[in-house]
Amino acid sequence: MSFSTSGTFRPVILDDIRGAQKMLAGVARMTAMEGSRHLSQLVGAPVHLKCENLQRTGSFKLRGAYVRISGLSPVERAAGVVAASAGNHAQGVALASSLLGVRSTVFMPMGAPLPKVAATSEYGAEVRLHGQVIDETLAAAQEYAHETGAVFIHPFDHPDIIAGQGTVGLEILEQCPEVRTIVVGIGGGGLAAGIAVAVKAVRPDVKLIGVQAEGAAAYPPSLAAGHPVSIDAPSTMADGIKVGCPGDVPFKIIGDLIDEVRTVSEDELSSALLLCLERAKLVVEPAGASPVAALLSDPRSFKGPVVALLSGGNVDPLLMQRILRHGMAAAGRYLSLRLRLTDRPGALAALLGSLSVVDANVLDVSHVRTDPRLGLTEAEVELQLETKGPEHCELVAATLRDAGYTVMS
């Protein structure tokens, strides 16, 4: 579609995305657009959630992968394709290749979650585990492409990928024609770039806000410099947007068309994921929850109606468990306390009785009596409590102090 015979890229335009939409008919679902009463109340305007977490393979990635592989020549298809990914792109390439009858090999890191490895294999790809970090996995995939002639399918840095992802933007305009603001997570930039091309061509008045995790925010310094800038050791729970350097192709589009790029903290990401689960009944991965995190961080700064794009829902159950604990702590629903009391029979029971009065649920208790820092008649207790929010946390701590306990933390 957007790759010229000379081997140079030409810009992605609206016609490319409309062509991709026709190509994806019967392949990618038009995912649901769900209203959120809770977020609407916070923002002061209607908020809708575009649920790409309910897309086939659990994310938007199928769209771009299918369009990219569809555009290969017969000779290229015969050579097969190869990709490197820890999850969503892997599954998108695997399913797209199977649907098109193309052999696929997907390199994944050694520590990739088992459910994602299994899903990629079940979609039809040959999975090869290589490397401890994604950079090592990527290098192995590119070496494989060089040795075998297989076509390397980049997760975001190709116009056909961008055109495929841009079909999400066309759906948003169709499902919510009154939209004034669209919020989308940004990793390498393929999704945001595609949406920007589609939306700005039809509705230039719509504000587009990109969201990155604070620990993996390569776009703000890159946009300030005017060219892609790499950041060292990106770190975030949001694997789907954990990219150390913007792609050359999406960077130009985002620089021209995205109105603003914001960053969100790990606490905000985990709180957003928890909100999606509790209020919207939607399983969303941290990257997919990043637009909701942005809404939570500064709700009154968005003009509505707002569409927040939930880009994916592929989250490992063990990671989900850790994130939910983190999210509940960030929301003031968990409270950790360390305090000292007199070491005598019944002292611990009295402490727990004080907690029951304020309706704090005890999750864990650690009772230390032999630490050399303690006095002869002292004991130290660490408590993990389930609470009802920040005000309840303050009430619990104040009640314990009023009862004469020395609260250390």
Residues forming the active site = 61, 311
Residues 93/105, Cβ–Cβ less than 8 Å: no
* Token pair 């055109």 in the structure block, residue: 163
The Cα 90–Cα 275 span in angstroms is 27
The Cα 331–Cα 174 span in angstroms is 35
* Phi, psi at 24, each rounded to 5°: -85, -5
Peptide bond into 305 cis (omega under 30): yes
When computed from its CA atoms, the radius of gyration of the chain, rounded to whole angstroms, is: 25
Single-letter residue type at 239:
D
